[in-house]
């Protein structure tokens, strides 16, 4: 018997269709994006807000996020998702509005937009994927690339005197008066996944309390960009990224 014959529409708990679509992800095997997509979908379903949620897609590996989550979406120019989310939330304050952005999108070309949206305290959710590299365009150095890390544009490793220091964008955002919840999570094992889901749900709940911007960073892997296997990528992330980008809440107001 086909599973579709068992799970009938009238027996579904949340909405008319599942939030997470039955579509094959375009991400590389081992990529963290798929896990975070699933967590967002679960939070939306459990909160019963499928018809009240609007996502803003970025430019980067997750540019096709709208293919996987069955909610309303908007597509932003590179780095401009916070500006678009600001307008959307102000025009429709009863909606849950979130951006989904990578480090190249948010922490590089979109630095102005994210800093000022957070400083204004826009009542939106920001999901920030930090894999320390430009994954979609060939593995170039990102603002978050670690010192010594090899990329397509730093073949001998990132140097502070030549390339500057890695940008701890989340620490900067935590200092802004407009942010109410700033946290850094990961999804490399079941325990981390549970913590990340809890953080994402809290961020969505905050968005309706007029407390300001909620910012959830997810330290992630890019085994294709890092030229390694998914298992080794997780280990490298734990040994190298976590010491520089420590996990946990930075602000909870």
What does the pLDDT read at residue 14? 44
Distance CA 62, CA 56 (A): 11
pLDDT interval class at 45 (50, 70, 90): very high
Nearest to 129 by CA among 171, 166, 101: 101
With a cut of 80, say whether residue 130 has pLDDT above it.
yes
Nearest to 27 by CA among 64, 78, 72: 64
108-121 confidence digits (pLDDT tens): 999 999 999 999 99
Average pLDDT of the residues of the chain: 93
With a cut of 70, say whether residue 99 has pLDDT above it.
yes
166-191 confidence digits (pLDDT tens): 999 999 999 999 999 999 999 999 99
Alpha carbon of residue 146 to chain centroid = 19
Distance CA 167, CA 170 (A): 9
19-36 confidence digits (pLDDT tens): 999 999 999 999 999 999
Q: Minimum mean pLDDT among 11-20, 35-44, 73-82, 192-201: which range?
A: 11-20
Q: What would the CATH number be for the domain defined by 3-245?
A: 3.40.50.970
- Token pair recorded at residue 7: 């799970």
pTM as predicted: 0.92
Which residue reads 């953080």 in tokens? 199
With a cut of 90, say whether residue 152 has pLDDT above it.
yes
Contacts of 188-195 with C-beta under 8 Å, sequence gap 24+, read 188/32, 188/221, 188/234, 188/237, 188/238, 189/234, 192/247, 193/35, 193/39, 195/247
With a cut of 90, say whether residue 12 has pLDDT above it.
no
Nearest to 103 by CA among 227, 249, 225: 225
What does the pLDDT read at residue 17? 87
**DSSP-assigned letter for residue 168:** -
What does the pLDDT read at residue 2? 54
User: Percent helix, strand, coil in the chain (nearest 5)?
Assistant: 40, 20, 40
């Amino acid at each position: 018997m086909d599973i579709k014959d068992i799970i009938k529409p009238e027996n579904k708990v949340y909405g008319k269709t599942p939030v997470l679509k039955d579509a094959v992800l375009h991400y590389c095997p081992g990529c963290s994006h798929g896990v975070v997509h699933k967590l967002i979908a679960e939070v939306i379903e459990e909160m019963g807000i499928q018809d009240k949620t609007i996502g803003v897609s970025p430019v980067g590996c997750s540019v096709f996020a709208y293919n996987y989550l069955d909610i309303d979406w908007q597509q932003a120019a590179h780095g401009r998702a916070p500006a678009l989310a600001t307008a959307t939330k102000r025009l429709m304050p009863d909606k849950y509005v979130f951006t989904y952005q990578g480090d190249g999108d948010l922490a590089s070309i979109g630095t102005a937009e994210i800093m000022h949206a957070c400083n204004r305290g826009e009542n939106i959710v920001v999901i920030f994927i930090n894999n320390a590299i430009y994954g979609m365009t060939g593995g170039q150095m990102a603002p978050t690339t670690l010192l010594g890390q090899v990329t397509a544009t730093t073949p001998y490793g990132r140097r502070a005197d030549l390339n500057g220091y890695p940008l701890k964008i989340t620490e900067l955002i935590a200092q802004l008066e407009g942010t109410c919840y700033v946290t850094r999570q990961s999804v490399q094992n079941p325990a981390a996944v549970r913590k990340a889901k809890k953080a994402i749900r809290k961020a969505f709940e905050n968005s309706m309390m007029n407390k300001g911007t909620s910012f959830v960073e997810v330290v992630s892997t890019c085994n294709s960009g890092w030229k390694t296997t998914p298992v080794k990528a997780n280990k490298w992330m734990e040994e190298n990224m976590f010491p520089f980008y420590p996990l946990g809440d930075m602000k909870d107001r």
